[in-house]
Amino acid sequence: MIHTENETYSQSEINSQNEIDEINSQNEIDEINPDDNKSEKKGAVSGRDLVKRNYKLSYFDFNGRGELLRLIFAVSNTDYIDERIKFEDWKEKKINAPLKQVPILKVDDEPVLVQSMAIARYLATEMNLAGRDNYEKTKVDFVLDLCKEFMDHFAVYVAPEILFPSDEKEEIIEDFLNKIAKYFLQKIQILIQKFGTNGYAVGNEITVADLFIYDLVTNMIKLDPFILENYPNLKENRNQVEENQNLQSYFKEKRKSRNSN
């Protein structure tokens, strides 16, 4: 049985009944396609966790719901296989995807992990990015839950217009920025003011909360380059995240590979 968090989300993102039937009849959770390494790139050099694991992240070749996970690997300088699935290959790969969706994370020989937020929390715990104690972890969760809600709205209203623009693209984006983005950015800023110090979202060091905010704000800046003018705490948070050396290397590589395409 698949549970969704809200109606809108379930209508636009959950697969058709046929696919759900397929999921139910599929007994074995398997990785997407272990032999296909064509579009894979290697991540950073070494992991921060003591146990060296083999990670393979499968997602499309855009930020979407995969970028937060890539940022976690990047900031923790963890080696992983970054499989970028091409749209034309998705139909075939989808057959073996447990919920017929990505992102999917394969860790060693374990059954694959699905659902971007579950994967983010798993990785954040592994990489010590989830908050120092239970109280701090809960604060990180406040931020992640809020950001996830924001991301769901972005995925429903804006992402389809970016990938497959309609005639209403401009109005949809303007409406999104004026209403939904404003609503969430204000709330995220309040959480930063309450829980963080020195520009961090929670506590006094980088956590997965900072990374999710960074990812979402990046999406917003692409829609409106001046969007942070009204959010000084979000601006400070972004500057703090950009100070991170591992992330700087990641962004540099990302810019390079974008320019080489």
Query: Does residue 98 touch ligand GSH according to CB under 6 A?
Result: no
Query: Does residue 237 touch ligand GSH according to CB under 6 A?
Result: no
CB of 66: closest distance to ligand GSH in angstroms? Answer: 8
CB of 101: closest distance to ligand GSH in angstroms? Answer: 3
Number of residues this chain uses to bind ligand GSH (CB under 6 A):
12
Query: Does residue 219 touch ligand GSH according to CB under 6 A?
Result: no
Query: Does residue 171 touch ligand GSH according to CB under 6 A?
Result: no
Comparison of 15 and 246: residue with beta carbon closer to ligand GSH: 15
The binder of ligand GSH chosen from 101, 125, 218, 249 (CB under 6 A):
101
Residues 78/44, Cβ–Cβ less than 8 Å: yes
Query: Does residue 33 touch ligand GSH according to CB under 6 A?
Result: no
Binding mask 111-140 for ligand GSH (x = CB under 6 A): ----xxx-----------------------
Query: Does residue 246 touch ligand GSH according to CB under 6 A?
Result: no
Comparison of 52 and 222: residue with beta carbon closer to ligand GSH: 222
Q: How far apart are the C-alpha atoms of 193 and 35, rounded to whole Å?
A: 47
Comparison of 94 and 132: residue with beta carbon closer to ligand GSH: 94
Please list every residue from 47 through 66 that binds ligand GSH, using CB under 6 A. Answer: 64-65
Comparison of 43 and 103: residue with beta carbon closer to ligand GSH: 103
DSSP the chain: ----S-HHHHHHHSPPHHHHHHHHH------S-TT--TTEEE--S--SSSS---EEEEEESSSTTTHHHHHHHHHTT---EEEEE-HHHHHHHHTT-TTS-S-EEEETTSPPEESHHHHHHHHHHHTT-S-SSHHHHHHHHHHHHHHHHHHHHIIIIIHHHHHS--TTHHHHHHHIIIIIIHHHHHHHHHHHHHHBSTT-SSBTS--HHHHHHHHHHHHHHHH-TTGGGG-HHHHHHHHHHHT-HHHHHHHHHHHHHHHH-
Query: Does residue 13 touch ligand GSH according to CB under 6 A?
Result: yes
Q: Which spans of this chain sit near ligand GSH (rule: CB under 6 A)?
A: 13, 15, 64-65, 94, 100-103, 115-117
